[in-house]
Structure 1
């Protein structure tokens, strides 16, 4: 993998030095006809049930608003891990998109393996009169999510945390409080009660191609996924957290172990009482559930401090052609306008990164007053921590090992043994 990525980086450098010599023949490059728009590619991970329709709306509206730039949106399955794999293949073939979503868990991996442009430097290069754009429009702590070694890798775009969605009708049928559980221990009891009294499942914890939600489960119990550059989840707290999860799935069969889209749909269909997933699923859950549904803050372990990884992504500029860089910035300015940010939040549930969106009449002021399921995500923002990002060029492989570990444990394999084996394997990769 190292050789492939190094080759890709060299190829990118060569293309940049040659002024993107293939730009005259590549689709979307600027031609001699000045009326021809510059075409740029925007890579994202948003399926239709999680913002995909809003991506399409924003891209279509932007394309219709002017005739200088044409944006082509490309959906990448398997979330941010899948996008990184596709980007790796794209670089190796000397063909790169122009702007990509980079999940917070892949910040280190992306910055160490791919060529990109610091957004502050991009603005100075293509729009010098707007050099203070980020200072004027973003809180410094939010921008710092995308910072590494004094440089910005991208621009924060999607900020999320996990909430617990409740089918209050099903909880009521099982004789449980419609307010839902406050702790993970209570959640396990709730799930078993729902199963015993209704025959339906009590719980589903999201299972996409990442470990975002399981990080919240483990680290809220005091475990750590990574410590001083080494995997460290094989601890008493990590074992306890995964054992509770395994008992619900395997022993009590009160929770389901299925892919993310199936799990969310099972909740929407009324077959699961509690759904632990991103606030970015709010629109999908709220619009399609045919029962009384609400959302509450993430459960905690006893009285321990809740630690919730920051979900979502930043937008990183991978354009190498000067004209495409300029076109990319024009598109990004549109995406980060108050109106577009409001549409993005309304369509997904992501908390906006701009500091002036929530209180603006053109933004979310009215929306937030009418959509109370956003409240728990906003109220628990102070419990957010960084989504673990594995260093080096083995980040994708390390993340896959965590996914394999999850599947083994939820299939009944010994928790302590599986955690230890996986931790050892990841630390061998990270040497």
Structure 2
């Protein structure tokens, strides 16, 4: 489904929309051509269809994997040349640059879109849904999406209007890293806790028996990890009212219970309330027994930890369903014209092949969204056997849910209110019930 770019939103995107905390400068960044080409590539690709692939992977965050994949495609394809362009400042930087590019009448062919911008992107930019592209240019692939992706994974790239905007590409989920040496020292099972109730028990036992901190939950400039804990207890960050409106609903009894548990651990000195970098480093240094953070931190933890480290799946609350929010991005086709669209799909299909998905996972630490990559001989079978920390994230894919994005112009303000609420609760200034109820009411006033 094509969507028309709305110029009236340009000021929003350039201004308040991009006050998203933790993503760096809000100043517009120019997309830079990677070593895969640029104007030179266009000249060298005479007789080929040249398309642009916009991404936000710096060299240390998957950029080398992008370069490897694009180069391999270009070397083996005789009629398409892909030019990869890096956009600084992560997904919000890409959105700013896309806005500027579309305003000039141009558009890249394939773009990475962060989950938090799903509705904004689909409402304000032209794109073609993957199934429409397939039906028009590659009918032999008509069941490609259904054959290769779990329904809950495809759902991540479905907007609030029910349209499949793109295909999930980069997926990260929160897992529980454990220091087996500390668990053994505390007389605990080295298999780690399986529920949040056990996380609480383990953290307190670690503090009592070893004097070290028991648990740290990541606290970056987003509420991602806390969403996983809250929603696994049966709460919902957002719900639809009878008249179809969206409202915040996280201050339920279950949501309050989850946040108060974490606040109590911190207050009793069994849990840590630090910046994300400090918390992860505390675990790597052996000063904290358990770490709840993204699987994308796997390489850093695996490299730095000088102890017996393992991961277990994101805890559940008793026998309740596990719900883990997806981090990362999806790929959308913004190509204009049939030739560009056909080429965009051919490149995308290549990126979603088992071999390319495996290379992307190895190069970035993301979990493959395609369902058959983990067990394939030409996929990740050997890699997963050698990197057991990845297993927990792969095994919990059936519990993946969408990362909450508040609708409308108030979305970014609502996100900041959640962070302020978290700091007050974890810092002991307010109880979970008071802080969550007050914040929920304030967000719902914004959403009206």
Q: Which TM class, normalised by the smaller chain length?
A: 0.7 to 0.9
Does residue 173 (structure 1) correspond to residue 173 (structure 2)? The answer is: no
Query: Per-residue CA shift, 1:277-306, capped at 9, x if unaligned?
Result: 223333333344222111112222244333
The superposition leaves residues 253-273 of structure 1 with CA deviations (integer Å, 9 ceiling, x where unpaired) of 6313213x4433332333332
The residue number in structure 1 matching 2:282 is 266
The answer as to whether partners of 2:67 and 2:84 remain within 8 angstroms in 1 is no
Quote the Cα distance in structure 1 between the aligned partners of 2:280 and 2:97: 26
Q: Cα distance, 1:365 vs. partner? A: 2.8
Aligned CA distance change for structure 1 residues 344 and 238 (closer, same or farther; 3 Å):
same
Q: How much has 1:154 moved relative to structure 2?
A: 0.4
The structure-2 alpha-carbon separation of the partners of 1:135 and 1:416, relative to structure 1 and needing over 3 Å to count, comes to: closer
Q: 2:257 — aligned with what?
A: 240
Following superposition, the deviation at residue 153 of structure 1 comes to 0.2
Pairs within 5 Å for 1:251-262: 251-252=268-269, 254-259=271-276, 261-262=277-278
TM-score by length of 1: 0.80
2:435 is matched with which residue? 418
Q: Deviations over 1:82-117 (max 9, x none)?
A: 655665676678776543333444433332333322
Q: Is the 8 A contact 1:63 1:71 kept in 2?
A: no
SS at match of 1:151: coil
CA distance in structure 1 between the aligned counterparts of 2:182 and 2:407, rounded to whole angstroms: 43
Residue in structure 1 matched with residue 34 of structure 2 by the alignment: none
Counterpart-to-counterpart distance in 1, 2:446 and 2:199? 35
Aligned to 1:57: 68
CA gap 1:136/1:302 in 2 versus in 1, 3 angstroms: closer
- Deviation string 1:11-40 (CA, Å, 9 cap, x unpaired) is xxxxxxxxxxxxxxx968967983687362
Per the alignment, residue 131 of structure 2 pairs with 120
Flag structure 2 segments of 5+ consecutive residues without an equivalent: 1-5, 14-37, 241-245
Q: Sort the Cα spacing of 1:203 and 1:133 in 2 relative to 1 into closer, same or farther, 3 A.
A: same
1:317 to 333, 350, 359: 333
In structure 1, C-alpha distance between the alignment counterparts of 2:151 and 2:283, rounded to whole Å: 37
- What is the total number of aligned residue pairs between the two structures? 411
Q: Secondary structure at the match of 1:227?
A: strand
Partner of 2:223: 211
**1:411–1:35: structure 2 CA closer, same or farther, 3 Å change rule?**
farther
Distance 1:278 1:364 in 2: 19
Q: Is the 1:159–1:350 contact (alpha carbons within 8 Å) kept by the matching residues of 2?
A: yes
CA distance in 2, matches of 1:173, 1:411: 29
Q: Mean Cα displacement is larger for which, 221-230 or 421-430?
A: 421-430
Alignment check: 8 A CA contact 2:197 2:317 kept? yes
Contact 1:309 1:384 in 2 (8 A): yes
**Distance verdict in 2 for CA 1:150–1:243, change over 3 Å:** closer
Q: Deviations over 1:295-331 (max 9, x none)?
A: 1122222443332224433212234466654553343
Q: CA RMSD in A?
A: 3.6
Deviates more, 1:165-174 or 1:64-73: 64-73
Do structure 1's residue 194 and structure 2's residue 206 form an aligned pair? Answer: yes
Alpha-carbon distance, 1:340 to partner:
0.7
1:190-246 deviations in whole A, cap 9, x for unaligned?
334434554543222123333221111111222211111100111222222112222
Q: Aligned with 2:424: secondary structure?
A: helix
Q: Is the 8 A contact 1:165 1:294 kept in 2?
A: yes
SS of aligned partner of 1:416: helix
In the alignment, is residue 134 of structure 1 matched against residue 134 of structure 2?
A: no
In structure 2, C-alpha distance between the alignment counterparts of 1:122 and 1:7, rounded to whole Å: 31
In the alignment, what sits opposite 1:363? 379
Deviation at 1:136, TM superposition (A): 5.0
